[in-house]
Amino acid sequence: MNGPRVSPTRGLTAIDGAMALIVLLLVVQMWLLSATLDAYLAGHGDAALPGAVISGVLFLACGGLCLFVIRLEKLRRVGGAVDSGSSP
Amino acid sequence: MKPEKPTETSPDQGAGTGDRPLWREEFSIYKADERYVSRRQLTKFLTLTSLAMFAGNAWILVKSWLRSRVTYPERAIARAGEIPVDGVKLFEYPGPEDQCILVRTSEDRYVAFSQKCTHLSCAVYYSPAHHRIECPCHEGYFSIEDGSVLQGPPTRPLPRVVLERRGTDLVAIRMEAEREAR
């Protein structure tokens, strides 16, 4: 064995959890964008800066989760969890 | 019999993870691999969507900064007494594509607003019978006093044009946002 093993089932569960979290963050980001746009069109330009900062933080969180998913998949490959030739 | 995964690859097959070429990571013949690939691709797509949301917010921030630097020209838009009471005059302010509406509400009172409805940008008109500004598209009504929403789908008031009387001229000075108008 040349690395940590990741069981296919647990790996998929972790990835599904990460994806669910990303979707949740996306919904928050969409709401944030619409609220900031509405405030901007109403003349409240001071909401733009906190909106952009929070949106950036949410994007970084999504990026982190994406990297987590990619890393998990790589771990599974390199680690040799290869008993995956059959269908579920 | 299960197919065995390849362990060797030629140098011209690309740089994939471990000992597999890159293309095999994306187009695996194994069903379990395919589940991972589809999830990874969806995750990347979601992350790109998140980036697009962030770009939208950043765009609003830039527009907000640019708007705060805008200076409005002072322009004579009408002469006092040029239009009758409850009469209307259309003009462009601050740019040539920004239609506005000037209303004489009483003998010596004039108000002016942007003519774009804040709902879907239909052209609004003044209704002397109801003493309000109306949008014909979705029946949004605005107060003639301050442009605030009286009824209908619009959620924001009409931007107001600040007027100043200089002799016999009515001069537009600047546009007022919602917060300032209240």
| Residue B132 β-bridge partners | B127, B143
Does B167 lie in the same domain as B82? Answer: yes
A69/A65 Cα distance (integer angstroms):
6
Does B118 lie in the same domain as B166? Answer: yes
Look up the ipTM and state it: 0.81
B137 belongs to a structural domain: yes
Does B126 lie in the same domain as B176? Answer: yes
What residues in B contact A10, CB-CB < 8 Å? Answer: none
B34 in contact with chain A, both atoms CB, cutoff 8 A: no
Closest in A66, A74, A86 to B47, CB measured = A66
Q: How far is A52 from chain B (nearest CA, A)?
A: 5
B16: tokens are 């994939």
The overall average pLDDT reported for chain A is 82
Residue segments in chain B with a per-residue pLDDT below the cut of 50: 1-14, 179-182
Q: Which residue, B81, B67, B88, is CA-closest to B174? A: B67
Give pLDDT, residue B178.
52
Looking at chain B, which residue has its C-alpha nearest residue A34? B57
Q: Which residues, including other chains, have CB under 8 Å from residue A75's CB and lie 6 or more apart? A: A3, A4, A6, A11
Residues B35-60 have pLDDT tens digits of 788 888 899 999 999 999 999 999 99
B103 belongs to a structural domain: yes
pLDDT category of residue A5 using cuts at 50, 70 and 90: low
Give pLDDT, residue B112.
95
B8 belongs to a structural domain: no
Give pLDDT, residue A12.
82
Does B153 lie in the same domain as B110? Answer: yes
B13 belongs to a structural domain: no
In three-state secondary structure terms, B138 is coil
| Residue B176 β-bridge partners | B160
B107 belongs to a structural domain: yes
Closest in B33, B42, B56 to A33, CB measured = B56
| Residue A76 β-bridge partners | none
Domain residues for the domain of B177 are 75-181
Query: What's the number of domains chain B is made of?
Result: 2
Residues B85-95 have pLDDT tens digits of 999 999 999 88
Does B64 lie in the same domain as B79? Answer: no
B7 belongs to a structural domain: no
Give pLDDT, residue B130.
92
**A8/B5 CB distance under 8 A:** no
What residues in A contact B46, CB-CB < 8 Å? Answer: 19, 22-23, 26, 62, 66
pLDDT category of residue A51 using cuts at 50, 70 and 90: very high
Closest in A29, A59, A66 to B44, CB measured = A66
pLDDT exceeds cutoff 60 at A3: no
pLDDT exceeds cutoff 70 at A66: yes
